[in-house]
Amino acid sequence: MPKLKIAEALDKLSSNTAVKNTVYIISIVIFFAFILLPPILGIIIKWGTMQDVLSEPKLMSEALNAIAASFAVAFFVSFIDVVAGVPMAWMIARGKSKWLSVLDTFSDIPFIVPTATLGYSLLLFWSDQSRGLSSLFGNPLVSPGWLLVILLHFTFSYPVIVRVMVGALLDYKLEYEQASRTLGAAPLTAARTVTFPILKPSMIASFILAFARSISETGATMMVAGAFINGPIFIKNHLGQDGPLVFVSFILIALSSMIFITIRLLGPKLKMPISKVWPTVERKLSSSAVAGSRNGLTLLIFLVLVLIPSLFVALPALEAIFTGTFSEALAGAGAWGEYWQSIFLTYSLGVLVTLVNVVIGLPMAILVARRKFGQLSSVMLDVLVNIPLIVPSVALGVSLAIFWKENFAFIPEIWLLIFAHLAITYPYFVRSMSAAVERINIELEEAARTLGAKPFRVFRTIVFPLTKYSMLSGAVMVFTRSVSETGATMVVSNLITAPVLLVNWVNSEVPTVTLGLGCGFLILFSFIILLVLRLVVRGRGIY
Amino acid sequence: MPDVRLVNVTKKFGKIVAVNNVSLHVHDKEYFSLLGPSGCGKTTLLRLIAGLIQPDEGEIYIGDRLVNDVPPEDRDIGFVFQTFALFPHMNAWDNVVYGPRVKGFHVEKAETIGHEVLEMVRLHERLDAFPNELSGGMMQRIAVARALAAGAELLLLDEPLGQLDAKVRNELRYEIRRMVRDLDLTAMHVTHDQSEAMAISDRIAVMKKGKILQVGTPKELYMKPKSIFVAHFIGESNFLEGYVLSINSEGTVIELRGGIRVKSAEKNWKEGERVVLAIRPETFFVEKGVKKNKNSILGIVERVTFEGTNIRYEVRLKNQDLVVVIKPSMIGEWLNIGEKVTVSFPPEKAPVFAYPEVGLREEISVE
Ligand SMILES: Nc1ncnc2c1ncn2[C@@H]1O[C@H](COP(=O)(O)OP(=O)(O)O)[C@@H](O)[C@H]1O
Ligand SMILES: [Mg+2]
């Protein structure tokens, strides 16, 4: 039983405070050295080149416009997301129909469709004149441009809101709402004055996540942007010139961080208007007719703006099966050779990044959740860990590349790719794990300790089994994020991952059928992997 | 006129029948308790009445109104939750005036009511405190105040004292009782604590596994339990197993294990029936040495526990049955461990029950 022996040895080691602290300190050092500092230092190294932009008013106003566009889209989309996503989450969490679990699964689909693919799918759906909705009208319903960007961002950030809010609603102690009802509040009043104010932290968290996703998305946005320019696209357009990169990256990072911190600080103080009640109106609005039409509208929005556009790319993929394209693809003929290489790279990278995240992220998650080094350092780490989340991935890639290439030119490109993906995905894992650990009643751990379990054993036998599901969902997020990452991947190396290849294909006008099939495979593989993972870790982890 | 009537109400959760064909009538202005071991369906029954869940079968009336399809906010009730469910994002005051507010009362009226109920629970000085700053007892009083402020005449309380320590619990139960009486309310109080139910209720319904076994005043339940379970759950009973030997004009002669013969005043039994005799610990009469009284059995004192008011003896009868005997500690001479004694009981205080099909142990188990 060598495996048990190792576990026992680790158990013993773990009761040694020096060993324990070393593990925690190493995880902090790794975080700073490989994830947080390189992108920041990258900008600082090239600080001087900002002069290039500052001295050119035209370039600067272009840059500022692009940044403004980024924030405008992010704010607008996140807001609409909350408005449209919360009723959906409510329906899934509170409804009684068996079909809701199907809906629940479907609402995750935009998650598993790599964003670049999603972009192409939306492009087909909204503006392709021979296939999508637009074929009914003869001309593009929505041409590439700002509106399509907004539609795209809505589509991919919607599931974030739904996921977070469904979880929050399921965790919520129903008694508060019931108490409100027994006191005479109509359902709408109860939700407005009791449930949502209590769930405010989750709403803010989901808003921030959607916001961050919108600010940082690059690959798909590029496909649908047309002449529209936001921050990431501006950076992409000026690749090779340091000045614009540093300038835009810096402002995006600084502004996003400021917004993030402001929301964190002011969020808890934000009061919802709950003291005013309109009993008759709210009672009417609570009627089943109103609730029914709200559910109908919610479903309609979900179908038309999220689900169908996300999966629309399957249509040309099906077409491909019946033409020669499918066998060409399987044979690896022509461009397909490169495609399969990129698929291999994408998924190996995804797996590697996920594994590394588990190893380096877990101690950090516990550190943050259990305040091992005190309250203050935990809060600070928590904020710092989230920074890579709000940095546009292109900006992060650019500054990361500058840092490593300037200082450690000998490092192979594949390493840069790994570092970039690690930096981008790390917050997802640490966030979901630390939240899960925090939810475990500390008394359970204490009980195990009093029964004689060493710290590592407590982890193996208590914490791990109780957080298994969250660890899985953290890993899934890391994996899907890595598989669909485009912006940073493009700028840190010349290696071609699948999303990058697809963006290139779109730009070089590869036939729709080929592109559709390329996207189709990517969705299919991601879907299979997620399905397998779900089967491996059964159950929903409600403790 | 809030009386509450349940007609053949059933509620299932999957395979579990939480409330099983229950019919019940709670009178206007009555203080009524639902008593039973945990998991027997008390909370479910109360939540059905509140409209927080819907019955699978049966009808629920509040006053003359059939309320099956009436949502909780329109049932005009006050509900005190076991965990209080004070809104964590509102202070005590906002919690208390929540009901009047959502019912659309005029601001001044809402405030007047708020002050009145806070006066009643004597918590005026903690208006600004948030729930997490209050002690258990205070939270409980705010929870009651909040339920009262909504102005309902029917108050539903789900183990309202369950989270409190013994001393506070005993004080608060009389306080709630007093408020309910002063305000002329009807109250339904759920508890698993028989002494609490006995102390404050006009009537009690004893529940077991989703069914109501008996409804009665505390005295009726104690003096005339209709089942072994009620005899066991209300107060304490010694159960002696035996067979009916003969029936005569004075009652029934029962042969216990070991050939001991005793009499009960009950008559409607048949020869040869397997039965259980239920005798309260304080019913026994104990004397030192060997005595020849009616219904006397010899035994040896095995354990003596001093409980303050009472002294409790465990006596091993000569047929090896163990019985508990309780005597006031300040009256008479105490017995010692190992002492030979004679225990006896009056035939009219020994109710007889048919031996339960599921076995005695299973019948009285509270699982
Ligand atoms: N929402 C529910 N879902 C499933 N089972 C439930 C639910 N509520 C109660 N039960 C079950 O119904 C039975 C009665 O529960 P409850 O009414 O809470 O009992 P009590 O309040 O008497 O302790 C228990 O077996 C309990 O597990
Ligand atoms: Mg209960």
pLDDT at A540: 45
Q: Could you count the other beta carbons within 10 Å of the beta carbon of residue A410?
A: 7
The string of pLDDT tens digits covering residues B64-92 is 999 999 988 889 899 999 988 999 888 99
Q: Is residue A511 a contact partner of residue A335, using CB atoms and an 8 Å limit?
A: no
Say if B357 falls within a structural domain: no
Q: Cβ–Cβ of B85/A280 closer than 8 Å? A: no
Q: Is residue B149 a contact partner of residue B113, using CB atoms and an 8 Å limit?
A: yes
The string of pLDDT tens digits covering residues A421-430 is 999 999 988 9
Index of the ligand 1 atom closest to the CA of residue B40: 22
Say if A230 falls within a structural domain: yes
pLDDT at B213: 96
B56 burial type by CB count under 10 A (0-12 exposed, 13-18 middle, 19+ buried): middle
Q: Which residue of A has its CA nearest to B50?
A: A182
Max avg pLDDT among A332-336, A374-378, A412-416: A412-416
pLDDT at A543: 33
Asked whether residue A98 carries a pLDDT value surpassing 60, the answer given is yes
Do B143 and B50 sit in the same domain of this protein?
yes
Ligand number nearest CA of B40 is 1
A chain contacts of residue B87, beta-carbon cutoff 8 Å? 176, 179-180, 194, 198
Q: Is residue A70 a contact partner of residue A232, using CB atoms and an 8 Å limit?
A: yes
Say if B281 falls within a structural domain: yes
Max avg pLDDT among A135-139, A144-148, B242-246, B357-361: B242-246
Cα–chain-centroid distance for residue B202? 11
Q: Is the CB of B39 under 6 A from ligand 1?
A: yes
Q: Cβ–Cβ of A182/B94 closer than 8 Å? A: no
Closest CA to A52 of A44, A63, A36, A68: A63
Q: Cβ–Cβ of A183/B146 closer than 8 Å? A: yes
Question: 3-class DSSP state for residue B217?
Answer: coil
Q: Is the CB of B290 under 6 A from ligand 1?
A: no
The string of pLDDT tens digits covering residues B97-116 is 998 888 888 889 999 999 99
pLDDT at B242: 94
Question: How many domains in chain A?
Answer: 1
Q: Is the CB of B162 under 6 A from ligand 1?
A: no
The string of pLDDT tens digits covering residues A268-309 is 777 777 777 788 888 888 888 888 898 899 999 999 999 888
Q: How far apart are the C-alpha atoms of A211 and A219, rounded to whole Å?
A: 16
Classify B217 in phi/psi space as left (phi over 0), alpha (psi -120 to 50) or beta. Answer: beta
Q: How far apart are the C-alpha atoms of A439 and A195, rounded to whole Å?
A: 19
Q: Is the CB of B210 under 6 A from ligand 1?
A: no
Q: Determine the average pLDDT of the residues in A105-127.
A: 81
pLDDT at A542: 36
Say if A233 falls within a structural domain: yes
Closest CA to A363 of A27, A36, A29: A27
Q: Is residue A499 a contact partner of residue A114, using CB atoms and an 8 Å limit?
A: yes
pLDDT at A4: 66
What is the torsion angle, in degrees rounded to the nearest 10, for the CA atoms of residue A517, residue A519, residue A521 and residue A527? -140
The string of pLDDT tens digits covering residues A496-521 is 999 889 888 887 878 888 888 888 88
Do B141 and B257 sit in the same domain of this protein?
no
Q: Which of B89, B99, B156 sits opposite A184 (nearest CB)?
A: B99
Do B100 and B41 sit in the same domain of this protein?
yes
Q: How far apart are the C-alpha atoms of A49 and A398, rounded to whole Å?
A: 14
Mean pLDDT rounded to a whole number for chain B: 92
The string of pLDDT tens digits covering residues B290-345 is 888 788 999 999 999 999 999 999 999 999 999 999 999 888 888 999 999 999 99
Question: 3-class DSSP state for residue B210?
Answer: coil
Do B155 and B251 sit in the same domain of this protein?
no
Asked whether residue A541 carries a pLDDT value surpassing 50, the answer given is no
Classify B84 in phi/psi space as left (phi over 0), alpha (psi -120 to 50) or beta. Answer: left
Do B224 and B257 sit in the same domain of this protein?
no
Q: What is the ipTM of this complex?
A: 0.79
Do B10 and B94 sit in the same domain of this protein?
yes
User: Where does B192-273 show beta strands of DSSP type E?
Assistant: 203-208, 211-216, 238-248, 251-256, 261-264
B197 burial type by CB count under 10 A (0-12 exposed, 13-18 middle, 19+ buried): buried
pLDDT at B158: 94
In this structure, what DSSP letter does residue A271 have? Answer: P
Do B54 and B165 sit in the same domain of this protein?
yes
Q: Look up residue A219 and give its amino acid.
A: G
Q: Is the CB of B44 under 6 A from ligand 1?
A: yes
What is the torsion angle, in degrees rounded to the nearest 10, for the CA atoms of residue A514, residue A238, residue A481 and residue A204? -130
Single pTM value for the model: 0.80
Measure A258 CA to nearest chain B CA, in Å: 27
Q: Look up residue B211 and give its amino acid.
A: K
Asked whether residue A536 carries a pLDDT value surpassing 80, the answer given is no
Do B224 and B296 sit in the same domain of this protein?
no
Question: 3-class DSSP state for residue A62?
Answer: helix
Asked whether residue A538 carries a pLDDT value surpassing 70, the answer given is no
Q: Could you count the other beta carbons within 10 Å of the beta carbon of residue A289?
A: 9
Q: Around A334, how many Cα atoms within 13 Å sit in the side-chain half-sphere?
A: 9
Asked whether residue A60 carries a pLDDT value surpassing 60, the answer given is yes
Alpha-helical (H) ranges within chain B are 42-50, 92-96, 98-102, 107-120, 136-149, 166-182, 194-200, 218-223, 228-233, 360-364
CA distances from B197 to B2, B30, B131, B203, B219 (A): 21, 13, 28, 9, 11
Q: Determine the average pLDDT of the residues in A165-169.
A: 86
The string of pLDDT tens digits covering residues A41-55 is 888 888 888 888 888
Question: How many domains in chain B?
Answer: 2
Q: Is the CB of B11 under 6 A from ligand 1?
A: no
Mutation target among A98, A173, A175, A183 for the B interface, most CBs of B within 10 A: A183
Question: 3-class DSSP state for residue A264?
Answer: helix
Question: 3-class DSSP state for residue A27?
Answer: helix
Do B317 and B213 sit in the same domain of this protein?
no
CA distances from A250 to A245, A392, A394, B258, B286 (A): 8, 10, 12, 95, 93
A chain contacts of residue B77, beta-carbon cutoff 8 Å? 182
Tokens of A149: 């960007």
Geometric angle at alpha carbon A441, from A435 and A447, rounded to 5°: 135
Rg for chain B (alpha carbons), in Å?
25
Asked whether residue A113 carries a pLDDT value surpassing 80, the answer given is no
pLDDT at B57: 96
Q: How far apart are the C-alpha atoms of A92 and A147, rounded to whole Å?
A: 29
Q: How far apart are the C-alpha atoms of B322 and B238, rounded to whole Å?
A: 8
pLDDT at A132: 67
B194 C-alpha to ligand 2 centroid (Å):
14
Do B222 and B255 sit in the same domain of this protein?
no
Do B160 and B66 sit in the same domain of this protein?
yes
Residue with CA nearest ligand 1 atom 21: B43
Tell me the pairing of strands B154-158 and B77-80: parallel
Do B206 and B70 sit in the same domain of this protein?
yes
The string of pLDDT tens digits covering residues B126-144 is 889 999 899 988 999 999 9
Say if B46 falls within a structural domain: yes
Beta-carbon contacts of residue B9 (< 8 Å; ≥ 6 apart): B19, B21, B22, B23, B45, B48, B55, B57, B58, B59, B60
Residues spanned by the domain of B51: 4-231
- CATH code at position B272: 2.40.50.140
- CATH code at position B227: 3.40.50.300
Percent of chain B with pLDDT over 70: 100
pLDDT at A537: 60
Which of A75-79, A274-278, A523-527 is predicted with the least confidence, judged by mean pLDDT? A274-278
pLDDT at A281: 84
Residue with CA nearest ligand 1 atom 3: B13
Residues spanned by the domain of A395: 2-271+286-313+325-539
Q: How far apart are the C-alpha atoms of A332 and A335, rounded to whole Å?
A: 7
Cα–chain-centroid distance for residue B261? 34
Q: Cβ–Cβ of A176/B94 closer than 8 Å? A: no
Closest CA to A244 of A60, A72, A48, A394: A60
Question: 3-class DSSP state for residue B288?
Answer: strand
Q: How far apart are the C-alpha atoms of B249 and B42, rounded to whole Å?
A: 42
- CATH code at position A422: 1.10.3720.10
Measure A172 CA to nearest chain B CA, in Å: 12
Q: At what angle do helices A464-484 and A413-439 cross, to 10 degrees?
A: 150
CA distances from B345 to A173, A497, B226, B336, B351 (A): 53, 91, 20, 21, 11
